[in-house]
Chains A and B, each alone.
Chain A
């Protein structure tokens, strides 16, 4: 991962009449990242993506992709960026290969390159046996995978996905997520919007949470969790065979521990840094048997809900 900023918005504003859809959004995504763009319906995720692609004009502010201004040089941006809209559509009376062929032609690929690429990509998304089937017969999940092939045919540097996992079955979701991960492996910067948090958590290196057109948080899932849920602290979970009051007291005395919470045979220990070694020592001093011990991982669900509860207050 490099420090080069690929996607950037500066004070981006979009109004629809009096309604403010996006309000002074400042966002930057570095090269090679998989950026999850989260937020409830109507938070302005799609509008931001459309502005980044030059498909709608911002009211004020600017959006740049790979250094090109999306409003002034949309064609340059669209040469480098692929976009998979939320409800992707294909020409139903054309076959999968023909649909991709049209996209290839619009991207100025020569026939030989195009046919080679189409074959390769249909293989990648697992649709090679459906190459000559009309898209009208495809399921939503298959169309979504074809959409990914459609995005990849231009060899994008950046890929925008709007709700890539909405409305498809669990197996389809797995396939789509795996494909997006593969794209990231090919050094494509990915930005995806979603409100299906556990899907995002699986593949995103960075997330941004959008509410009412504002970016309320940006960072990796771990960073956000530590900041929001644990109040900037590391939380260690210890499961013991038989927790005793003596042990709790002993752990509380460890330097750096700021709080111990007991839930059945679980101890939740907040500390300033990773103190697993000291805690283990305390447990062995007490002759307690540790079943397991780990640093708590934060669910994006919790982080997300926490942010929104704060917003509502």
Chain B
């Protein structure tokens, strides 16, 4: 355990001091806050009636002119980049720099290295996500003047948790590639390749199959392979109490609003997606474990 704390502390300090994390944080924090506040300022009034509940949560879910201009989309786009940047060179850079043999000749179990790095990445993601949600909440509160209710705060915490899980998946995937490939460039390319694949190709394939067969069910099943869809659906359920499974929400806000679900019902809807995300993360993590634990560590 002591060894784990030592690795964790060092890796966390490394992450928070690294140029790429600082730059990406600035982009995510600046971009996220600007985009969300700007879009909210323009659109949050549309469709709000006297009976509208959970106005504060709408801060995070209103959309601009296209569905790309929304906080959920922004997160589903940038969190993978964050996870990949924190993990793609976790093990192989240690190996090529000659640190791995020195590190693994210290009295620690080998998995301590992976665990410590994964934990440090996870905490870095958590810091950034919590900071971002906090910033938007603060500025948003000043702007709209409607304080969040207790359930809204709970929902926001759930959202932060799911986002961290989503980041953890990409982090674990990137670490897996860093164990599998000895070259940093290869593991970076592979990680971003997967990211591009799920971001562009899976929705494309899903829609093509959907059109060809005329069956929407198949198309939505295919898109569920993608962790991005899993994340998207679960945060829709959590952040929009009244529209648990709808992707394009703003259209429905014009008419009558259905009654919002209580938090536990929303969670029930999001639960399969969240569990799948956690399982995918565990799968990647287990893969890195199996490869790394029995490997020969030779100075290269």
Q: Please name all residues of chain B whose beta carbon is closer than 8 Å to the beta carbon of A88 when the two chains form the complex.
A: 98, 101-102, 299
Determine whether the beta carbon of A107 is less than 8 Å from that of B297: no
**Shortest CB distance A191–B (Å):** 13
Q: How far is the CA of A264 from the CA of B22 in the complex (A)?
A: 76
- The chain A residue with its CB closest to the CB of B1 is A108
CB 8 Å contact bits of A74-98 with B (1 = contact, 0 = none): 0110110111011111111000000
Q: How far is the CA of A52 from the CA of B294 in the complex (A)?
A: 15
- The chain A residue with its CB closest to the CB of B100 is A89
Contact of B99 among A56, A76, A91 (CB under 8 A): A91
Determine whether the beta carbon of A106 is less than 8 Å from that of B98: no
Q: How far is the CA of A90 from the CA of B299 in the complex (A)?
A: 12
Determine whether the beta carbon of A89 is less than 8 Å from that of B102: yes
Q: Please name all residues of chain A whose beta carbon is closer than 8 Å to the beta carbon of B106 when the two chains form the complex.
A: 78, 103, 106-107, 154
Interface residues of A in 11-39 (CB under 8 A from B): none
Determine whether the beta carbon of A102 is less than 8 Å from that of B10: yes
- The chain B residue with its CB closest to the CB of A162 is B299
The secondary structure that dominates the B interface is loop
Q: Please name all residues of chain B whose beta carbon is closer than 8 Å to the beta carbon of A90 when the two chains form the complex.
A: 98-99, 102
Q: Is B142 an interface residue (CB 8 A)?
A: no
Q: How far is the CA of A1 from the CA of B264 in the complex (A)?
A: 72
Chain B interface size band reads 20 to 34
The count of chain A contact residues (Cβ–Cβ below 8 Å) is: 31
| Count of inter-chain pairs, beta carbons less than 8 A | 80
Q: Is A238 an interface residue (CB 8 A)?
A: no
Question: Contacts A50-B297, A106-B106; is A89 near B99 (CB within 8 Å)?
Answer: yes
Q: Please name all residues of chain B whose beta carbon is closer than 8 Å to the beta carbon of A55 when the two chains form the complex.
A: 101, 104-105, 296-298
Determine whether the beta carbon of B6 is less than 8 Å from that of A56: no
Determine whether the beta carbon of A89 is less than 8 Å from that of B97: yes
Q: Please name all residues of chain B whose beta carbon is closer than 8 Å to the beta carbon of A50 when the two chains form the complex.
A: 296-298
Provide a sorted-by-A list of 12 A–B residue pairs whose CB atoms are within 8 angstroms: A75-B108, A78-B107, A82-B105, A87-B98, A88-B98, A88-B102, A89-B97, A89-B98, A89-B299, A90-B102, A103-B102, A147-B102
Q: Besides A75-B107, A108-B3, 14 other CB < 8 A contacts?
A: A50-B297, A55-B297, A56-B296, A75-B108, A85-B98, A88-B101, A91-B97, A103-B106, A105-B2, A105-B6, A105-B10, A106-B3, A106-B107, A107-B107
- B residues neighboring A (CB under 8 Å): 2-3, 6-7, 9-10, 97-99, 101-109, 294, 296-300
Q: Enumerate the 7 nearest inter-chain pairs by beta-carbon distance, A residue then B residue, closest first.
A: A89-B98, A85-B299, A105-B6, A83-B105, A56-B296, A85-B101, A106-B106
